[in-house]
Amino acid sequence: MNKDAKIYIAGHRGLVGSAILRRLEREGYTSLVYRTSSELDLRNQQEVERFFEQEKPEYVFLAAAKVGGIVANNTYPADFIRDNLMIQNNIIDASYRTGIKKLLFLGSTCIYPKFAPQPMKEEHLLTGILEPTNEPYAIAKIAGIKMCQSYNRQYGTKYISAMPTNLYGENDNFDLQSSHVLPALMRKFYEAKESGSPYVEVWGTGTPKREFLYSDDLADACVFLMNNYEDSEIVNIGVGEDVSIRELAETIGRIVGYTGNIRFDETKPDGTPRKLVDVTKINGLGWKASISLEEGIRRAYNWFLENKIVAAK
């Protein structure tokens, strides 16, 4: 991408999109295009087509999506499959119709089977059943991958797909009903410390293992792939190591400065037993994560403290 190329970041106010925007600005890209959801409803085909015809971006980072944790996915499955299908269908097709040079579609490691071998390799896609709690979201993302591959095959487009592991960082969602595990725990420990609560309750047994990637690392990987990768096959983005939910909770509690107890509610679901991605492919291309979990949590917590009135709503 030339520094003056017109680049559209879909979802620029979210966790991923805002990190990509910061990264591109920091690297000196000067023609960045974005719209808020009130300015452009990505679920509306006519609005999206009109936007692409008017702006004619050269490159697209498709980071817009309806996302959430176990609670949100369990409660609103229809919303998750419908909204994500509409968003990606509209953007991918409008990108083709207006002749963009390249598109990066962001999926998720929840596309892999619930009991996929660990670490999960790109070729494990569609080799087993999905985790039921987020199946509608995963199916939407798999459809997005297949749509990119199909457009490449039929129309000769350059649409690539990246599968990041669990993400956290600036502009994260800290709502306890819809957030992912790391920001939810961060808010819980903060509120417990402030109120003097004797314990913090964590869903599940604490034994599932998860991998966590800081959003700025993901943004770095996305820009790297846009500039260096053109294959239709998906690429995992992660750090290549994981921690148990118990270890995660203990680390967050220590960084927050909470001194009470941690209780695990074993009546609540654990989700997938383990989710670690194989990062051999992206490492081989020349990219590696650089922000440790400890450093990332400290950065995210500092951002939360500076923005907690807004973030906690």
Task: Give me the domains of the chain, ranges plus CATH numbers.
Answer: 6-172+212-240+275-291 (3.40.50.720)
Model pLDDT, residue 312: 47
Model pLDDT, residue 269: 82
220 labeled part of a ligand binding site: no
83 labeled part of a ligand binding site: no
Model pLDDT, residue 108: 94
Residue 137 a catalytic site member: yes
Burial of 264 (0-12, 13-18, 19+ CB in 10 A): middle
124 labeled part of a ligand binding site: no
Model pLDDT, residue 313: 43
Model pLDDT, residue 309: 53
- One pLDDT digit (tens) per residue for the chain, 313 residues: 999 999 999 999 999 999 999 999 999 999 999 999 999 999 999 999 999 999 999 999 999 999 877 777 888 999 999 999 999 999 999 999 999 999 999 999 999 998 899 999 999 999 999 989 889 999 999 999 999 999 999 999 999 999 999 999 999 989 887 778 899 999 999 999 999 999 999 999 999 999 999 999 999 999 999 999 999 999 999 999 999 999 999 999 999 999 999 999 999 988 778 889 999 999 999 999 999 999 999 999 999 999 975 444 4
Question: What does each C-alpha distance from 5 to 28, 32, 57 come to in angstroms?
Answer: 11, 8, 8
205 labeled part of a ligand binding site: no
Contact 64, 48 (CB under 8 A): no
14 labeled part of a ligand binding site: yes
How many whole angstroms separate alpha carbon 266 and alpha carbon 121? 30
Residue 55 CB coordination number (10 Å): 12
157 labeled part of a ligand binding site: no
56 labeled part of a ligand binding site: no
165 labeled part of a ligand binding site: yes
Q: Which residues pair with 262 in a beta bridge?
A: 200
137, 229, 258, 301: the active-site residue: 137
pTM metric for this prediction: 0.93
